[in-house]
């Protein structure tokens, strides 16, 4: 069983999908051993505590530089024996100290079909606003490996979601989570954990 560390910033719906996948057996080659947030009040921390998973906060403001913050994250993950890292709504860009320590072992979920509506500045509702304003008929989610290019790592899985008449960014965001993100993120984590 690979040890998984999850990085979060918000409510933790993708974390919940991973916890549920662990219970149901979709995620069977890995186990979540810690959840780390860069925001003290993130509800994702409560989700972790509710099922007995270590929950920890590392704040950027407590570190002199972005690099020091990155090193603190890396060192904490390594202290927990983490082998695979999942970004589940983590709103901070990881630097080279972290990326090099977990090369090809960091998974992110992005709420569009990469290469559409991705890269710097595309996160949260902004992705769905862009898809709607462009007028695409199909969007979705992408589970991918993380490298030094924002949303530029190897694609692991994608799932399409149709845009419907009357969609708002909020409605579309919810449908993409329910029909794509919560399904492919656990599958992608299992894929990476199952590798030797």
DSSP string, 54-106: EEEE--GGGSSSHHHHHHHHHHHHHHTT--EEEESS--S---HHHHHHTTT-E
What pLDDT is stored for residue 172 in this prediction? Answer: 98
Three-state DSSP at 188 gives helix
Percent of the chain with pLDDT over 90: 97
Contact 89, 7 (CB under 8 A): no
DSSP E strands in 128-182: the ranges are 138-145, 155-162
Structural domains present in the chain: 2-194 (3.40.50.170)
Query: What would the two tokens of residue 154 be?
Result: 């190897």
| Per-residue model confidence as pLDDT tens digits over 108-120 | 999 999 999 999 9
Point out the catalytic residue in the list 63, 110, 128, 144: 110
| Per-residue model confidence as pLDDT tens digits over 47-103 | 999 999 999 999 999 999 999 999 999 999 999 999 999 999 998 889 999 999 999
Confidence of residue 126 (pLDDT cuts 50, 70, 90): very high
Residue 152, Ramachandran bin (φ over 0: left; ψ between -120 and 50: alpha; else beta): alpha
Question: Which uninterrupted H or E stretch holds 127?
Answer: helix 125-134
Give 139's strand partners: 161
| Structural Rg of the chain based on CA atoms | 16
Active site residue 128: no
Tokens 């149709």 found at: 162
What pLDDT is stored for residue 192 in this prediction? Answer: 98
Average pLDDT, the chain: 97
| Per-residue model confidence as pLDDT tens digits over 12-23 | 999 999 999 999
What pLDDT is stored for residue 156 in this prediction? Answer: 98
What pLDDT is stored for residue 91 in this prediction? Answer: 87
106-110 vs 138-145, strand pairing mode: antiparallel
Confidence of residue 196 (pLDDT cuts 50, 70, 90): confident
User: How far is it, in rounded angstroms, from Cα 185 to Cα 141?
Assistant: 9
Percent of the chain with pLDDT over 70: 100
């Amino acid at each position: 069983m690979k040890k998984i560390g999850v990085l979060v910033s918000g409510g933790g719906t993708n974390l919940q999908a991973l916890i549920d996948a662990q219970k149901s057996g979709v995620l069977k080659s890995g186990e979540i051993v810690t959840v780390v947030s860069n925001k003290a009040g993130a509800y994702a921390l409560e989700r972790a505590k509710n099922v007995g998973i270590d929950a920890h906060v590392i704040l950027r403001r407590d570190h002199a530089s972005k690099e020091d913050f990155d090193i603190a994250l890396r060192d904490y993950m390594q202290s927990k024996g983490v082998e695979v890292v999942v970004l589940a709504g983590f709103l901070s860009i990881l630097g080279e100290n972290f990326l090099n320590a977990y090369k090809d072992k960091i998974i992110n979920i992005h709420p569009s079909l990469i290469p559409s509506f991705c890269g710097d500045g595309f996160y949260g509702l902004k992705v769905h606003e862009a898809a709607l304003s462009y007028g695409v008929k199909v969007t979705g989610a992408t589970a991918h490996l993380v490298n030094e290019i924002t949303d530029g790592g190897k694609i692991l899985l994608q799932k399409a979601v149709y845009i419907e008449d009357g969609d708002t960014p909020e409605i579309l965001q919810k449908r993409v989570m329910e029909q794509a993100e919560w399904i492919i993120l656990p599958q992608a984590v299992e894929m990476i954990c199952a590798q030797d």
